[in-house]
Amino acid sequence: MRRLGGLASLVLLGALAACGGASQPAAPEPRLGGPSPTPSRPPAESMDDLEQPVAQRLASRLEDDGLTLEYVECPPWSGKVPTVLECKGYVDGVVGEVVVELSHRERGRVEFDARLEAGVLAMTRLVERLEREGYRDVDCGPTRAYPARVGMRIRCRAHKGDEAAHVVATVVDRHGAVRIQDY
């Protein structure tokens, strides 16, 4: 019986070899996106009288990047102007640096400008860059933001011309600049 089982195995292997051999399993598709970010939770207390308007103005600007600002946390403000505050912005679970510039306005009013300075990589910006460089149907996974950590790699799937491509974007600075390579 054993001999027959071994002989049957040889016949089966021979038949497979004649048909082009056993099919090899396809290489697994690379996981899209980057390493799963550890979500950062904003503080439980309400934002103060400075943080609230800063968050409102900055949130509308970040919407264009497909990002959601959850919270702004600033150090205590002395009330003096002009001054610059370095705050934290909680954006889609990632903490970034928010710079708030406070200045004088007529009749003693205070004006401010706020911008997300560093620490957050917006995936919509990466997709837009890839599209400008000739890629289409770009998919970098479902995560909307990553911490902009130097050396971190984000994998995307796309097409360039008629060819499918996998793209690796490597973060090169804390402002979210990336180097693009495809294979």
Question: Does residue 37 contact residue 66 with C-beta atoms inside 8 Å?
Answer: no
User: Is the pLDDT at 1 greater than 50, yes or no?
Assistant: no
* Tokens 């990632």 belong to residue: 94
Which amino acid belongs to residue 183? Y
User: Is the pLDDT at 14 greater than 70, yes or no?
Assistant: no
Q: What is the pLDDT of residue 11?
A: 38
Query: For residue range 143-154, what is the model confidence (pLDDT) as tens digits?
Result: 999 999 999 999
- Global model pTM greater than 0.95: no
Q: What is the pLDDT of residue 15?
A: 41
Phi/psi at 32 (nearest 5 deg)? -80, 150
State the Cα–Cα distance between residues 126 and 156, nearest whole angstrom: 10
Mean pLDDT of 136-160: 96
Percentages (nearest 5) of helix, strand, coil residues in the chain: 25, 35, 40
**Neighbouring C-beta atoms of residue 165, cutoff 10 Å:** 17
Q: What is the pLDDT of residue 2?
A: 43
Query: For residue range 69-92, what is the model confidence (pLDDT) as tens digits?
Result: 999 999 999 999 999 999 999 999
Burial code of 30-69, b = ≥16 C-beta within 10 A, e = fewer? eebbbeebeebebeeeebeebbeebbebbbeebeebebeb
Q: What is the pLDDT of residue 8?
A: 42
